[in-house]
Amino acid sequence: MRRLSQIIVFLLFAGNLSAQTSPHGLLKFDCSDCHISTSWKEIPAEKKFKHEATKFALAGQHKNVDCKQCHATLKFGEAQEDCISCHKDIHKNTVSRQCSNCHTPTAWLIKNITDIHQRSRFPLLGQHAKADCQRCHTLFAELNFEPLGVKCYDCHNQNFAATQNPNHAQSGFSTDCESCHNFTDANWSYASFAHDKFPLIGGHKIGYKITDCKTCHTNAPIYTGLSQDCYSCHKTHYEQTTNPNHISASFSTTCTTCHTINGWKPSSFNHTQYFVLEGAHTQLDCNKCHSTSYKNTPTDCYGCHKTTFEGTTNPNHVASQFPTDCTKCHTTSAWIPSSFNHASTNFPLTGIHATTSCISCHASGYVNTPTDCYSCHKTNYENTTNPNHVTSQFPTDCKKCHSTSGWQPATFDHAATQFPLTGAHLSVACNQCHASGYVNTQKDCYSCHKTNFDNVTNPNHITANFPTDCTKCHSTTAWKPSTFDHSTTQFPLTGAHTSVDCAKCHASGYINTPTDCYSCHKTNYDNTTNPKHSTSGFQTACQDCHTTTSWAGATFDHDGKYFPIYSGKHRGEWNVCTDCHTNASNYKVFSCINCHEHNNKSEVDKDHQGVGGYSYDSQACYRCHPTGNIDGAFNHSNSRLPLTGSHLTIPCENCHLPSITATLSPACSSCHQNSFTNAASPNHQQIGLSSDCKTCHTADGWKPSSFNHATTNFQLTGKHATALCSDCHKGQTTGTSQVCNDCHQTNFANSVNPNHQTTGLSTDCKTCHTADGWKPSSFNHA
pLDDT along the chain (782 residues), means of 10: 38 43 82 84 78 86 88 86 85 84 86 85 87 85 83 89 84 85 81 82 81 81 83 92 86 90 88 90 88 84 93 89 90 91 91 90 85 92 90 88 92 89 91 83 91 90 87 91 88 92 84 88 89 81 90 86 87 86 82 82 85 80 83 71 81 68 72 86 79 86 83 84 81 78 87 87 87 86 78
388: left (phi over 0), alpha (psi -120 to 50) or beta: beta
> What pLDDT is attached to residue 12?
37
CA distance 607 to 223: 162
What are the angstrom distances between the C-alpha of 171 and each of 178, 192, 220, 221?
A: 17, 16, 8, 6
CA distance 542 to 518: 6
> What pLDDT is attached to residue 658?
57
What does the DSSP 8-state code read for residue 460?
B
| Residue 589 contacts residue 535 (beta carbons within 8 Å) | no
CA distance 512 to 32: 167
| Residue 60 contacts residue 104 (beta carbons within 8 Å) | yes
| Residue of 265, 288, 262, 256 lying closest to 275 (CA atoms) | 288
| Residue 419 contacts residue 449 (beta carbons within 8 Å) | no
What are the angstrom distances between the C-alpha of 521 and each of 353, 514, 527, 528, 730?
A: 76, 11, 10, 11, 69
| Residue 439 contacts residue 393 (beta carbons within 8 Å) | yes
Q: Rg of the chain's alpha carbons, rounded to an integer?
A: 78
- Model confidence pLDDT, tens digit, residues 474-483: 999 999 888 8
Residue type, 470: C
CB count, 10 Å around CB of 592? 21
At residue 259, the 3 state secondary structure works out as coil
| Residue 404 contacts residue 350 (beta carbons within 8 Å) | yes
**Positive or negative: CA dihedral 89, 91, 92, 93:** negative
- Model confidence pLDDT, tens digit, residues 64-98: 888 888 888 888 888 888 888 888 888 888 888 88
> What pLDDT is attached to residue 386?
84
> What pLDDT is attached to residue 490?
87
Residue 518 burial (C-beta neighbours within 10 Å; 0-12, 13-18, 19+): middle
CA distance 585 to 529: 9
Residue 227 burial (C-beta neighbours within 10 Å; 0-12, 13-18, 19+): exposed
Query: 637-647: string of b/e by CB count within 10 Å (b at 16+)?
Result: eeeebebeeeb
CA distance 367 to 317: 11
CA distance 69 to 167: 61
What are the angstrom distances between the C-alpha of 101 and each of 81, 116, 461?
A: 15, 8, 148
> What pLDDT is attached to residue 8?
35
At residue 415, the 3 state secondary structure works out as helix
CB count, 10 Å around CB of 628? 20
In SS3 terms, 741-782 reads as: HHHCHHHHHHCECCECCCCCCCCCHHHCCECCECCCCCCCCC
> What pLDDT is attached to residue 90?
85
Q: What are phi and psi of 192, to 5 degrees?
A: -140, 155
Helices (H), 81-151: 113-118, 133-136
| Residue 634 contacts residue 623 (beta carbons within 8 Å) | yes
Q: What are phi and psi of 452, to 5 degrees?
A: -60, -45
Alpha-carbon torsion angle 511, 517, 520, 526, nearest 10: -150
CA distance 29 to 683: 171
Residue 307 burial (C-beta neighbours within 10 Å; 0-12, 13-18, 19+): exposed
CA distance 694 to 676: 12
> What pLDDT is attached to residue 661?
46
Q: What angle is formed at CA 443 by the lines to CA 440 and CA 449, rounded to 5 degrees?
A: 115
> What pLDDT is attached to residue 55?
85
In SS3 terms, 262-322 reads as: CECCCCCCCHHHCCCCCHHHHHCCHHHHCCCCCCCCCCCHHHHHHHHHHHCECCECCCCCC
CA atoms within 13 A on the CB side of 555: 7
> What pLDDT is attached to residue 377?
94
Does residue 682 have a cis peptide bond before it, meaning omega lies within 30 degrees of 0?
A: yes
**Positive or negative: CA dihedral 127, 128, 133, 136:** positive
| Residue of 698, 672, 689, 771 lying closest to 725 (CA atoms) | 689
CA distance 660 to 212: 151
| Residue of 2, 54, 10, 46 lying closest to 29 (CA atoms) | 54
At residue 69, the 3 state secondary structure works out as helix
- Which residues, in sequence order, are CB contacts of 511 under 8 Å at separation 6+? 464, 465
| Residue 438 contacts residue 393 (beta carbons within 8 Å) | yes
> What pLDDT is attached to residue 657?
67
| Residue 585 contacts residue 532 (beta carbons within 8 Å) | yes
CA distance 156 to 188: 9
What does the DSSP 8-state code read for residue 155?
H
CA distance 359 to 168: 85
Widest CA span of the chain, in angstroms? 193
CA distance 396 to 403: 14
| Residue 160 contacts residue 169 (beta carbons within 8 Å) | yes
- Model confidence pLDDT, tens digit, residues 298-339: 899 999 999 999 999 888 899 888 889 999 899 999 999 998
DSSP secondary structure string for all residues of 468-485: S-GGGT--SS-SSS----
What are the angstrom distances between the C-alpha of 185 and each of 120, 188, 371?
A: 22, 7, 92
pTM value is: 0.38
| Residue 423 contacts residue 478 (beta carbons within 8 Å) | yes
> What pLDDT is attached to residue 435?
82
| Residue of 390, 508, 493 lying closest to 460 (CA atoms) | 508
Q: What are phi and psi of 656, to 5 degrees?
A: -90, 80
CA distance 363 to 347: 16
| Residue 125 contacts residue 183 (beta carbons within 8 Å) | yes
